[in-house]
Structure formats: structure tokens, C-alpha cells
Amino acid sequence: MLEGLGGFQVRYFKLIPAGSSNKVPRETDDIRKGFEYMRKFGPQENANGEFTSWTEEEVNNPNSPLHKWDRGTIKEFLRCLADQGSQANTIKDWPLTFKSLTPWALNHIVASILPHILENAIIWIGKSRVGKSPVSYTLSAITSAFWFQQEDRGHEVPSFQTASHLDYFRKEKGRRTKPRVFDDGNLNLESPASVKAITEVTGIDRKTMARWNAASYAKNQLCQACSNPYDRTAEPPMPNSANSDTVSFETFFKIVRPSFHKDFDEEDLMGIFKRAVFVVVTDIGIYLRLPGTDRDPVRRMSWPEDDKGMISFSARPTYDQYLKGSLSAFPPQHAEDLQWSLNLLQAARDGEDVPLCYTIKGRELSTGRKHSKEVRPDLAGAAFKQSLKGRVLSIKLSDSSDAPEPNIPKPSGASPQDELEEELEALMDEDDI
């Protein structure tokens, strides 16, 4: 044995601290590829021990990105992926922006909501298939993008959560960059304490009871709720040919009462009125009440004659593709439209006077075919004005519910309405060219 040790020898020794791991360190790119591999190809159920069998195959396969990975790490990650099905969905691919809404909805509904969106909740009540859900999702996505910009994280994708029960929000810590929407559930089965918690957007410690745990909500985290029940019998008719009117607070209280739990007494519901913007959609019109404890009459607006919906005709194909799962990418102008929406939100926060959106309708003389064009102002920076040959159609976002009609200064000479019609016709002619 001693003779075998003779001659020139080279031996390699590596000294490591006592108790340290003997695992080979992996490059960051390899780690990311491994987790992405699990997301794409890992088993999605474990009824027959798929997690264990798949893990053993992968860690022993020299060609797998998970070769010689820690088995516990793989199975823990697979359990986390499978557990996503028991909590609220996170939506990161919402394709609509404020430009996807009709000019009518922007002028009369969204303009009134925006000044309150960072401090108050929004409760949507009423009939189906008019756009309550998509508008609430759009508000959530824009609010998420706003908070990301405030935190110098503008590169991150806006997102929000939606669920049909408050219990499903329990597994993720609340944060203001991810708003939440209670949708397609039974708001009238939620307790007064829970509804107060989700509507107290500026609250410091907001929690709701959940199974074996609690759901938390961060300060300034926007929460919205969509509910269908309302009392049609309490709704008075609107005067003929009226664009808007008011109903008494007592009548409005009766209209929305079916959307809340039987344990709500009057003061509990007044607490919700204090915290939230109410948008109530019925066959007759749309009611809009801003946060507060006053008992003033509530404004009601009639529907436009041609359509009962808040999503623009131009955006409905995109929305339809999204619902069917056939939308593979954002619309081409999505980034610009998102920035326009953020500018509109910032203008609302700053109390800027923003030009009204409007729709130009016309008919081709040769074919009789009807066509329309939706016009929205150019918004760039914190302050902006868009004029039509010197006359500004403006609406002050901070008090738009009280001043919904365009402010058109009266010129001398010809009728202002005649001049405006001539200019709109000129715009249509240019569009045809």
C-alpha cells in the first residue's frame, strides 16, 4: 500500500463550514426555468398521488429542468398551485380601459365616481347585462395601475381580485395595488360587520371573518360590490321626456334595501351610505348617490334612447372575445388608452375641468347607412383643455353629478346650436374622407 502511494500525486480538498448544505448551488435562470416548468407541465391534481410520482420522475430524469431538485420544494410549489382554486382569482389580463366606456357613462357616472375612488367603496346594484361587472373591473384595473405608479412600480401589470364570497379573499394579504370586487354573489347574505369592513376603504385595520382565518384589507385598497336585488315596486316613474330627476332619500333607501342582510338596521345602512358610492341601475334609469350621511334627494338619470349599456360599441367585440377566451393579446392601443385613463383619474384627483366626451351620429346620403363616432378629449399631463373652435365642452369632475350638461358659452350672431351642428357635420365629413 505504501508503494502505491509513491510518486507524484494531486489531490483536491474543499473546506466548508460545519453544518452547511452540500447541495450544488443553482443559477438564478435555472431556478426560474424550473418553476416555470412546474407551472406549465406539473400535475394539477393529487387525487392519486400525482405530485409524488411526477416529482420522482423529474428529479431522476437527467434531461429535466428539475433534475436533482429538492423533492419537498417541488411538492410544496405544486400544492400552492393547486390551492389557487380555493381562493379569489387574480385577473391580470383585463383588456378594457376608460376609453372602452360609452361617452354617456364617462360623463355622467364615471366622472362622478373618480374623485372618490381612492377613499370610498363603490356598490353597484340593479339589473343585469348593462355593464356593472365590466365597469367595476375597469375601475379596479385603473386604480391598480395608479397605485403602481405612485409606488414607482409602473412596470408591473395592473391586477385585481374577484370572488362571489368574501371568504375567498382570505388567503392573500390585502394591498392597495390589488383592488377587490365582490361579484356574482349574495351581498344580502353578508353580515353588517363584513360589509362595513370592505367599504371602509380608508380604515386602518379591516378584516372579515373567514373559515379558519380572516380576510384582510389594506388601507386605501379599493373594494367594490355588485348586487342584483332591488325593490322595483318602490321606484316611481320618471316624467315623460325628462333626462333626469330626483327621488327622495326614503324612496332610494327602499329601492336598495333588498341587497342587504335582514340584520341591517337603518343606522347600519347609513354607515354604508357614508362609506360608499351607490350606483343603482334599473329599467327606468340610473341612480347615483355619493358618500355621506345626508338625506338629500338622490339624482336619477334616464337611459340614452338607443342603448342600455355602459360598454362602448367599439369595445364590445374585444369584451366578447375576452369572455369567450379567444382574446390572445391586448388591443393595439391598450397602452395609450391606459395612460389616458390614468390622466383622467389624476385630473379627477386634482379637480380639473375636463372636456365632455360625446358621440357624433350621422347617416350616409347615398346608402342611408347610419354611423357614429365617439369623441374623447386628448388628455396629456395634469391640466388639459380640448376646444371645438374656441368653445369648450367641459365638466368639472369634482361636482359632475350636479352639472352634467355641457357648458357652451353663447356666441354672438348665429344660434350656438346651429354652429355646433355645422361643426359636427364637418367633423363627420372629414372622417368619411
Give the C-alpha separation, 290 to 120, whole Å. Answer: 9
Closest by Cα among 83, 6, 77, 84 to 38 = 77
pLDDT score, position 159: 96
Give the E-state strand segments of 329-393 in sequence order: 353-355, 358-363, 370-375, 387-388, 391-392
Give the C-alpha separation, 52 to 55, whole Å. Answer: 5
pLDDT band at 20 (very low <50, low <70, confident <90, very high): low
Give the C-alpha separation, 138 to 66, whole Å. Answer: 39
Kindly report each contact of residues 302-309 with a partner whose C-beta sits within 8 Å and lies 24 or more positions away, as own/partner.
302/238, 302/242, 302/243, 302/244, 304/102, 304/104, 307/102, 308/130, 309/102, 309/129, 309/130, 309/131
Please give the grid coordinates belonging to residue 191: 353580515
Q: Give the pLDDT mean for 405-427.
A: 46
pLDDT band at 170 (very low <50, low <70, confident <90, very high): confident
Do you know the residue count of the chain? Answer: 433
pLDDT value at 78 more than 80: yes
pTM of the full structure: 0.77
The contacts of residue 54 (CB under 8 Å, 6+ apart) are 42, 43, 78
pLDDT value at 403 more than 50: no
